[in-house]
Amino acid sequence: MSRTIAALVLSAVLAGSLSAAPMYSDPAGGWAVWYDGDNASFGDTIGVVGANALDGNWCHNHSSDEWGGDPGATPPEPPFRPNDASDGNSEGGVQTYTEGGTGATYLRLADVKTSGGSFDNRKVGFYYEDLPSVLTTPDYQLLDQGCTLYVRWRLPAELVDGLQGPDGKKIDNDGRGLIALQQNLDTDSNGSKEPKQIGFSLSVDGTDYDYPGDSDVLTMNNLNGTSPTGAVDTGEAGTMNILPLDVTQWHEFWITIVADQSGGGTHKVDIWLDGAMLPQTFHVTAGAKAETDGDLGNTDAGLGFMHNQTGEKGMFDIDFIGLAEGVHAAPEPATLALLGMGLAGLAVRRKRR
């Protein structure tokens, strides 16, 4: 069995399963950010509302998001939870769940409303609280100098608080997806910051958008020129970037992003999927926008996962997400390395006969 065939076998076996350990090992230097989906804490309500959420490193204040409960009340009222009748609500929210059989935990975000008022669980999501503080330098150019993103996620297929899944999200709001990476720095010393945003979404054909080939997809910014622009969203100008797949299965995406030197866009994106050893390459154009809410703790760099579009409903599960500086090719999956050792041992035994 060749390494290429072995990789395909591994991908076929592991896609859709949830295990305790990621397929790929850590990059050199480790992860600057790592969240493993096992904590859904609403965060500290003293001082800046929404700080110290999830595992203590995230915040849930971004633009006009609305959360269930009232974090400013005394005592604070916690947000609602999806499919949790004990809180007396049926309006989505955020909750951790345990996968049957494996015992692995993951986070579910459910936005089941397209309009409403205060404290009603719309546009829910999280940003890493102060991303520049964990980078080599606060002015590290996350998108231009390069970064590596690693995420395991899916879209739930079941009925959640009246919303029948799967239901994801297209790219909108100048390059914002279910996962968004942002850079907002004065990179050419002209005295003004230059916002850039690249998003990734799991998206359902016919529900979120009518995709070519009638397939559900991983989608990202369109390719639309070599300068950041607001016209990079799904359905707008340029060439669509999509990767067809079954969005209801657990998938692991090892993604690298760096400034595009080919002239084909603003950034080059390489994606290794489900244990593959070779990437698929995309050329994208960054959206000319970045989160500027001071509650994020900074306005220079951002990593977020969210469902924050007023007129859209949807939900997704995330098992882990990691971010590292630099462009790191996906390492050989640990399972495949063991398989390779076994094949090598078998070859030696055959040779000795």
pLDDT tens profile 60-99: 876 677 877 776 777 777 778 888 877 666 688 889 999 8
CATH of the domain at 195: 2.60.120.200
227-238 pLDDT tens trace: 999 999 999 999
Cβ-contact 140, 185 below 8 angstroms:
no
Pairing between β-strand 314-325 and β-strand 33-35 as defined by DSSP bridges = antiparallel
Q: Hey, which bits of 29-178 come out as E strands?
A: 33-35, 58-59, 93-98, 105-111, 125-128, 147-154, 159-160, 163-164
Residue 336: predicted pLDDT: 55
- pLDDT for 75 equals 75
3-state secondary structure of 287: strand
- C-alpha 315/C-alpha 243 separation (Å) is 19
| Three-state SS at 222 | strand
> CA distances (Å), 326 to each of 98, 132, 135, 179, in order?
33, 14, 10, 18
Residue spans of the chain under pLDDT 70: 1-17, 19-20, 44-50, 62-63, 71, 87-90, 292-298, 334-353
pLDDT at site 20: 66
* Range(s) of the domain holding residue 163: 3-352
Taking only the tens place, the pLDDT of each residue in 94-108 is: 899 998 878 889 999
pTM of the complete model: 0.89
Please give the tally of structural domains in the chain: 1
